[in-house]
Chains A and B, each alone.
Chain A
Amino acid sequence: AQSVAQPEDQVKVAEGNPLTVKCTYSVSGNPYLFWYVQYPNRGLQFLLKYITGDNLVKGSYGFEAEFNKSQTSFHLKKPSALVSDSALYFCAVRAANQAGTALIFGKGTTLSVSS
């Protein structure tokens, strides 16, 4: 069965510091991996995805994520956090060899960036 874990309910960082939001996954075969962000009272917005190729994926708003197959992880990173990055972040996964199935989402991590 597919699953996604976001081990931290909340991550707190100071503005200007680097941030990491952790995600680990479990799928049969190769994964398709995604990160989404949700601001209050809004729908989810796509940030970035890993399908194949370079393990370091760059996305919107300066975010990037590193795919690590041996550790089954896809951590979200940003070199310098902004207060406006404060939001709820979701990791999602789908098995590459399972056509027609939907994404499985983690429970989300709340990122708080202080000024």
Chain B
Amino acid sequence: DAGITQSPRYKITETGRQVTLMCHQTWSHSYMFWYRQDLGHGLRLIYYSAAADITDKGEVPDGYVVSRSKTENFPLTLESATRSQTSVYFCASSLQGYSEQFFGPGTRLTVL
């Protein structure tokens, strides 16, 4: 009964490198979300997906790419990491768009 998992939990990378954060859910939820959490900003939505092959931008999408080829997976890629992308990243899923979201444990990313 894994629920929603994220990997890696911690990542250190260098400016300019490509990084992919993984998210996997076992509930077959339709909706999946990526947020970043920064002090003073709370949670800000990066991208979300209503179903496989359907994605849409959130509040802060620049510098990020997502894909959703399977319902259970929603990877987030930083194409060329920047220091401003140092943050804690949370993946979430929900049964419907208006349902409560269930969050993964987060990935702490540091870009040097």
Contacts and interface: CB of A to CB of B under 8 A. Distances in A.
A94 interface: yes
List the 9 shortest-distance A-B pairs measured between CB atoms, nearest first: A43-B103, A107-B42, A105-B43, A44-B103, A46-B100, A102-B48, A43-B105, A105-B42, A102-B45
Interface in A39-74: 41-46, 49, 51
A45 B56 CA distance: 24
A33 to B, nearest CB: 11
What band does the interface of chain A fall in when counting residues whose beta carbon is under 8 Å from B?
A: 20 to 34
Contacts of B44: 105
What band does the interface of chain B fall in when counting residues whose beta carbon is under 8 Å from A?
A: 20 to 34
Interface in A8-59: 32, 34, 36, 41-46, 49, 51
A43, A94, A99, A101: most-surrounded residue (chain B CB, <10 A): A43
A47 to B, nearest CB: 9
B102 A100 contact: no
